Structure 1
């Protein structure tokens, strides 16, 4: 098989300011909601492992996860998959954990080899990390048996607009508060960027996957009634506007800052497969799709214990783990920058404790499982 054309390869993208999730163990410590999303669909993949084409080569059976961050959830996924597959073959295994070159990989490496031994408990399993954009081909052709990505596909490859003056997220504010605005023109630009990104990702993975290989794609999303971004980004937006009002942040900084993230519907997740412009129809079989909701651990705990302080801390730490890198990059470089960043998230905690009903958070995902033809 020859490599498929990828327009994104070798082109210059406009930086998003995304350097990875918060490091130093902070993302791992606040990623329980993401694991709930993963755990809901991981059985889809596990149920298909017996059909993997494992007899065609003597090389390693390769599982690749794109968007590994600090590695806690990525390693857990691999542990599940390897445990289900090792009895099917005597071949060695290779786990690949990939994220941006600027990602903090230190916890990943410690997690992969605690006490100097593979975390997977077998000398048949080797592991490696690969830095790069998930929208490019990163691995050799015909080398991957299972590819996964969980939530990372929601992060855009580039900023299609220099500023988004009415809100901090391309999807716009929640209906309950309507504390901002995104125009129809702006919405269409971001939707197109998200579709192009999805197509680039699917093309890259098609190059890497063996025939019969599996691809699992899961990401935070929305339905007609609910959106994962509601409440959460309303809170961040309100906290920023409070600091604009105080004079700590200029209106120009606020208007230029936005999170380069897009929350897809299930239709938007799958649409590149049938869009003739992307030439993907002949590359994959679409095995299963679903939009679903999972409980949020800190929300469920709050329902039981009514501890508002703990709830606010856990809620804000959760979204700080995946928003602070871009926010930090958009704040002016001053000696008080780190303190200002802390104050913004403390303001978010205060706002949440004052009116928690304004910032209700629901965890919606969309997912698809594909087979490489």
Structure 2
């Protein structure tokens, strides 16, 4: 069973994912430039492009459009564009984004979009069928949770020192179990893409992560944890809800993102062309720096988190009549905390990127 059902639907994720757009745009030019030497299929055969973890589609369509524009400088061949996400994803919104006037005639000539339901940690395309694959802000989600429980915090990433709260912690043993599971996930991801991509095919992997200075988890997880514990202390949630809740994301370092180089016994299926960790711009942080409006910043920040965390939080609550009110309350409390203490919940988006070629 997947660790999440996906992002919040109904257009909410699209409306609150400018941070993710900025992070993917740090590395999208790598793939655009790589189209200059992509091996093209034989005349009459289509080019196949797969985006993994497409969510509601606005960001994915932006990325795929940039790649197609580069391809069109070389070829007029037909192009399959496959948009993949979990079967529980809001594919209705994705198709609304693909066809904004709700008619098939809005399709650009020679571009054939399709949706694929499946986990990016598994095969979702036939063997040696793809020329290009991309994934943005998705491979950090864990395929499932390890058996090791986290009772004193909601993430394997420890709380930030500046946001430390008495009674929260992550032990080395807990961290090790999640690290091993995350390693198995990334191996499964690369095995699947190695099977699907043709020799010479290009793979761009971008995801939130950490560097030597900052962890993208800090602020996000601290805010979610504090809001939940506030509700526990006020009797709005039971303690076991907190102790059984795990936010199923692993924030990798750049070395943890890259495929094995062969020394571990794994075959070397990819050449790493480029790889970097960058701190990227965060639109709501930039607006806060300009305006000084902490309330607006807090609301945007909480909305950004809600867009990807609400389905996970909802699944951790008992299905009681007041569940919708509890969900709204959590994010309202989070926004209030952000507004009251921006420094405690300071947010840095560390974006990891790797451009690879199938050998």
Q: TM-score, normalised by structure 1?
A: 0.92
Shift in CA distance, 275/343, structure 1 to aligned 2, threshold 3 Å: farther
Structure-2 separation of matches of 1:78 and 1:15: 26
SS in 1 for 2:182: helix
Q: Which runs of 4+ in 1 moved over 4 A?
A: none
Structure-2 separation of matches of 1:266 and 1:357: 26
Q: Quote how far apart the aligned CAs of 1:118 are.
A: 6.2
Deviation per residue, 1:290-329 (Å, 9 max, x gap): 0001111001101111112211110000001111101100
| Aligned mate of 2:142, from 156, 159, 173 | 156
Deviation per residue, 1:11-68 (Å, 9 max, x gap): xxx542x111000100000010011111111111111102111143632101110000
Q: Which residue of structure 2 aligns with residue 8 of structure 1? A: none
Shift in CA distance, 118/173, structure 1 to aligned 2, threshold 3 Å: farther
SS in 2 for 1:369: strand
Structure-2 separation of matches of 1:275 and 1:219: 24
Q: Which residue of structure 2 aligns with residue 268 of structure 1? A: 256
Structure 1 stretches lacking a partner, 5+ long: 1-13
50-59 or 165-174, larger mean C-alpha shift: 50-59
Q: Decide whether the 8 Å contact of 2:259 with 2:270 is kept in 1.
A: no
SS in 2 for 1:146: strand
Shift in CA distance, 111/172, structure 1 to aligned 2, threshold 3 Å: same
Q: Which residue of structure 2 aligns with residue 7 of structure 1? A: none
Pair 1:313-2:280 in alignment = no
Q: Quote how far apart the aligned CAs of 1:177 are.
A: 2.0
Q: Which residue of structure 1 aligns with residue 65 of structure 2? A: 79
> Superposed, which structure 2 residues align to 1:210-221 within 5 Å?
210-221=198-209
| Aligned mate of 1:240, from 208, 216, 228 | 228
Q: Which residue of structure 1 aligns with residue 267 of structure 2? A: 280
Pair 1:323-2:309 in alignment = yes
Q: Which residue of structure 1 aligns with residue 109 of structure 2? A: 123
Pair 1:134-2:120 in alignment = yes
SS in 2 for 1:80: helix
Structure-2 separation of matches of 1:185 and 1:275: 25
Structure 2 stretches lacking a partner, 5+ long: none
Kindly tell me the number of residue pairs found equivalent between the two proteins: 356
Q: Decide whether the 8 Å contact of 2:46 with 2:77 is kept in 1.
A: yes
Pair 1:251-2:252 in alignment = no
Q: Decide whether the 8 Å contact of 1:163 with 1:257 is kept in 2.
A: no
Structure-2 separation of matches of 1:73 and 1:275: 36
Q: Decide whether the 8 Å contact of 1:162 with 1:256 is kept in 2.
A: no
Q: Which residue of structure 2 aligns with residue 11 of structure 1? A: none
Structure-2 separation of matches of 1:118 and 1:208: 30
Q: TM-score, normalised by structure 2?
A: 0.96
SS in 2 for 1:152: coil
